Amino acid sequence: MTDFFEGIETVRFEGLDGGDLSYRHYDPNEVVMGKRLEDHLRFAVAWWHSFAWPGGDPFGGQTFERPWFGDTIELARLKADVAFELFEILGQPFFCFHDADVRPEGQDFAETTRNLEEIVDYIGEKMESTGPRLLWGTANLFTHRRYMAGAATNPDPEVFAYAAATVKTCMDATHKLGGENYVLWGGREGYETLLNTDLKRERDNAGRFLQMVVEYKHKIGFPGTILVEPKPQEPSKHQYDYDVATVYGFLKDYGLENEVRLNIEQGHAILAGHSFEHEIALAASLDVFGSIDMNRNDYQSGWDTDQFPNNVPEVALAYYEILRAGGFSTGGTNFDAKLRRQSLEPVDLVAAHVGAMDVCARGLKAAAAMLKDGALEEARARRYSGWSDAQVSEMLRGGLDECYRAASEGRYAPSPRSGQQERLENLVNKYV
Ligand code: XUL
Ligand code: CO
C-alpha cells in the first residue's frame, strides 16, 4: 500500500443524492438491456495520462509532482502500485498502457525490452491478486527522438525495423497479460511537409507494417482484436490514419479489412471535422467498429485537449450508435483523458474518473431508453420504406435506361417529405 491516495475511500454507487466522491448514475450492477452496466461500458484507465503525464503544455513544463517520476525500475513499480490502487478505488475493470508508460527506457533495445518484461511480470502479479484486466496494450512510437520522422513511415528503414521490433515486444506483453485488444495509433505516421515526403512509399510501408502485425498476431495465437486509432493531425501536420473512412480505404488496399477494427476517439473525430457518433456509426456500418477512447475536445482550441467527458447529450449519441451496433465485444470505454495541469491533488484524479464514469453511465442509459422507445428507429425505417418496394430492385438492375423509361412514363414522380429533424432532436432531449 502506498500513501498516495491516503484518506480516499473506495467509490460506491450512492444514487442522485450521493456525496462528492460517489457514483450518482453508475451502478455497475444495474441491468440495462439485459446486461450489467459494467459489462456494457467496460471502463478503462489510461496509464499515460493518469500516471505518466507530468502536466506540461507548450508554454511550461511539469506541474505535477508524483513520487514515482523518474526513470528507474523501482519507480516504475511504485507507479504500478499507485495505478492499481486507483483501479481499486474506482472499481475499474480495465486499464490500458503504452510500453513507455510502464517501464524505464534502457541504454539499448535489449535493456529496454528487459525492463518491459520485468515490469509486465510485476503488473501480471498485481492483476492476479486484485482483478483488473488489460483492455489493450500499445507501443509508444512517437515520443523518442528516433521517431521524429515517424515509425513505420520513417524514411530510414532502420527506424521501421526498430519500431517493428518494439511492437513485437508490446504484442508479447499484451498477450502475456491477457489483453483483449492491441492498439496502433499512428503517432507520427504522416508528414510535416510534402516537400521532403515520398507519400506513396510511406503509405505502402505503413500497409506492410500493419500486415506484419496481423501475421504476428496469428503466429502467437493472440486472440484479441487488432485496432487502429484514426487521428487527422497532431503531432504531425497530416496523419495517414486521418479518419474512419480513410482508414477503411487503407485497410481494403492492404487486404486487412477483415483483420483490423477501429478504436475511435472523441477528440480525434472532432479534429477531423466529424462528430464522435458519425465516426462510430460509419465504422459500425463498415463492420470495423472495435472500441472507443472516451474524452472531450475543447471546441474552440483546435487541438487535442483530451479532457474528461462532461457532455451527456453528446455521449448519449455515441453510445446510441454503439448499442445500435450491438455493443462492445472485445472493446470498451478507455478514458484517454487527462487532468487539467492545475488539478494537482490525488483526489482530482479520482474525481475526474468518477465524473466521467457517471457521464458515460447517464449517456448509455439515455441511449438504451431511446432505443427502447423505438421512435427514432421507426422514423428512420419509415424514411427508407420506399426501398422495400419491388419496382426498386428492377430500377437498380435496369440502370440509367430503366430509370429514364420509368421517369418518362411518369412512374417516378417524387414528392419531397419532411426529414423531421427538429422532432427527432426533441425526442432525444426527452431522454438526455
Ligand atoms: C493520442 C492518443 C493516444 C492513443 C494511444 O492522441 O489518442 O494516446 O490512444 O497511443
Ligand atoms: Co487515444
pLDDT per residue as tens digits for the range 122-138 = 999 999 999 999 999 99
Q: What's the rounded Cα separation, in Å, for the pair 375 and 186?
A: 40
Q: And the C-alpha cell for 414? A: 417524387
Catalytic site residue 98?
yes
pLDDT of residue 119: 98
Residues 25-37 pLDDT 10s: 999 999 999 999 9
Catalytic site residue 274?
no
Q: Set out the domains of the chain in order of their start, with CATH numbers.
A: 31-373 (3.20.20.150), 388-429 (no CATH)
DSSP-derived pairing of the beta strands 31-32 and 35-36: antiparallel
pLDDT of residue 97: 98
pLDDT above 90 for 104? yes
| Ligand 1 mutation target, pool 138, 143, 335, most atoms within 8 A of CB | 138
pLDDT of residue 17: 97
pLDDT of residue 74: 98
Q: What's the rounded Cα separation, in Å, for the pair 365 and 189?
A: 37
| Ligand 1 mutation target, pool 185, 294, 297, most atoms within 8 A of CB | 185
Amino acid at the residue 114: R
Among residues of the chain, what percentage have pLDDT more than 90? 97
Tell which residue, 29, 53, 57, 59, has the closest CA to residue 41. Answer: 29
Residues 386-416 pLDDT 10s: 999 988 998 999 999 999 999 999 999 999 9
- Residue showing cell 446510441: 320
289 phi and psi, to 5 degrees? -70, 135
Ligand in nearest proximity to the CA of 271: 1
Identify the residue whose C-alpha is closest to ligand 1 atom 8. 336
**Average pLDDT of the segment spanning 302-317:** 96
pTM of the complete model: 0.97
Among residues of the chain, what percentage have pLDDT more than 70? 100
Q: Which atom of ligand 1 is nearest to the CA of 334?
A: 9
How many Å lie between the centroid of ligand 2 and the Cα of residue 372? Answer: 31
Q: What confidence tier does 301 reach under pLDDT thresholds 50, 70, 90?
A: confident
**Average pLDDT of the segment spanning 155-169:** 98
How many Å lie between the centroid of ligand 1 and the Cα of residue 393? Answer: 44
Q: Which atom of ligand 1 is nearest to the CA of 140?
A: 10
Residues framing ligand 1 (Cβ under 6 A): 48, 98, 138, 183, 185, 229, 231, 265, 293, 304, 336
Q: What's the rounded Cα separation, in Å, for the pair 137 and 135?
A: 7
Q: What confidence tier does 101 reach under pLDDT thresholds 50, 70, 90?
A: very high
Ligand in nearest proximity to the CA of 303: 1
134 phi and psi, to 5 degrees? -95, 115
3-state helix, strand, coil in the chain (%, to 5): 50, 10, 40
Identify whether the C-beta of residue 295 lies closer than 8 Å to the C-beta of residue 340: no
344 phi and psi, to 5 degrees? -80, -25
Q: Which atom of ligand 1 is nearest to the CA of 304?
A: 6
pLDDT of residue 299: 84
Q: What confidence tier does 302 reach under pLDDT thresholds 50, 70, 90?
A: confident
User: CA angle, 293 as apex, 69 and 210 as ends, to 5°?
Assistant: 90
Q: Exactly one of 27, 99, 101, 358 is catalytic; which is it? A: 101
Ligand in nearest proximity to the CA of 49: 1
Q: And the C-alpha cell for 286? A: 463498415
Burial 28-57, CB ≥16 within 10 A → b, else e? beeebeeeebbbbbbbbbbbbbbbbbebee
pLDDT of residue 132: 98
Residues 312-370 pLDDT 10s: 999 999 999 999 999 999 999 999 999 999 999 999 999 999 999 999 999 999 999 99
Burial 349-359, CB ≥16 within 10 A → b, else e? bbbbbbbbbbb
395 phi and psi, to 5 degrees? -65, -45
Other beta carbons within 10 angstroms of residue 85's beta carbon come to: 19
Residues 32-68 pLDDT 10s: 999 999 999 999 999 999 999 999 999 999 999 999 9
Taking a 5 Å cut-off on Cβ, the residues next to ion ligand 2 are 265, 293, 336
Residues 217-236 pLDDT 10s: 999 999 999 999 999 999 99
How many Å lie between the centroid of ligand 2 and the Cα of residue 133? Answer: 18
pLDDT of residue 294: 98
**Average pLDDT of the segment spanning 416-420:** 97
